A and B are shown apart, each in its own frame.
Chain A
């Protein structure tokens, strides 16, 4: 009973938040709505008994990823209104529904076939975090290490890409200086 109430409440909240995020014209509203939606999604993980996943969702998504987006948003001019593509809305809607239906079929076909056996069944008497640790550090150790290397590569790439010219502050320069710097850079790129 309470599970049903919680499911429908959080489903409504998540869908409305993400709807706001894809339709609003203000970048800041979209960012806030996404952050709220991520928090509400972690509630589903807690309902499903995946406590560790819910905690990771809050820390990584609502914490780190949203902080990165907020940081990126400071570089861009987000105060002006976002322009939108005005294509055929019926095509957009039809394609979205079609692809979502395909996703459901992809998930549902192995369930309908019915011969699923749990490869790594849940151990009795252990908490979710303990179970996750047992599976992650035995069967999924190599993908775990590869993911760690991938995060390291992403960190180096982020520093190299965004860290150039960090000694120059765009807010302390006037417009002419910024234009000169940009022209110089464009010349460098073209030559």
Chain B
């Protein structure tokens, strides 16, 4: 049985929806960041698969940039999270409502 592009796209969609469920369910901000990593990784799989099946390296390039963006997002996000935790003692999403109108 031949594995085609559609197999990889279906896998990418499944992983993307798992990540979305995580983003919508999680209340703890650290685990919410983990769920965004799942989203970025599922898109990377789609990029690499299209790059392979069309013989074009652009997909791999974009996957590299996605990885770079994910790394810097984690660094800044965790820094902000540590500052918040030092101030308030928790990282629950529902308690962050100081700007609620």
Instruction: Report the Cα distance A51→B55, complex, angstroms.
Output: 14
Instruction: Report the Cα distance A160→B78, complex, angstroms.
Output: 12
A124 vs chain B, min Cβ distance (A): 11
A116 vs chain B, min Cβ distance (A): 6
Instruction: Give a binary string over A116-136; 1 marks a CB under 8 Å from any B CB, 0 the rest.
Output: 101111100000000110011
Residue A93 is within 8 A (CB to CB) of chain B in the complex: yes
Interface residues on A, range: 35 or more
DSSP majority for the B interface? Answer: helix
Interface residues on B, range: 35 or more
A-B interface pairs (CB < 8 A), number: 233
- Which residues A110-154 have CB closer than 8 A to chain B? 111, 116, 118-122, 131-132, 135-136, 140, 143, 147, 150-151, 153-154
Looking across the interface, which residue of chain A has its beta carbon closest to that of B61? Answer: A140
Looking across the interface, which residue of chain B has its beta carbon closest to that of A22? Answer: B22
Q: Which of A34, A45, A71, A101 contacts B48 (CB 8 A)?
A: A45
Q: A-contacting residues of B (Cβ < 8 Å)?
A: 1-3, 5, 7-22, 24-28, 30-31, 33-35, 37-38, 41, 43-46, 48-52, 54-58, 60-61, 63-65, 67-76, 78-83, 85-87, 89, 91-92, 94
Q: B-contacting residues of A (Cβ < 8 Å)?
A: 1, 3-4, 7, 11, 14-15, 18-19, 21-22, 27, 30-31, 34, 37-38, 41, 44-45, 48-50, 52-53, 56-57, 60-61, 64-65, 68-69, 71-73, 75-76, 78, 82-85, 87, 92-93, 95-97, 99-101, 103-104, 107-108, 111, 116, 118-122, 131-132, 135-136, 140, 143, 147, 150-151, 153-155, 157-162, 164-165, 182, 185-186, 189
Seed contacts A15-B18, A50-B63, A103-B16; 12 additional CB < 8 Å A-B pairs: A4-B1, A4-B3, A21-B38, A41-B45, A65-B74, A72-B81, A75-B85, A76-B81, A95-B24, A104-B13, A132-B60, A143-B65
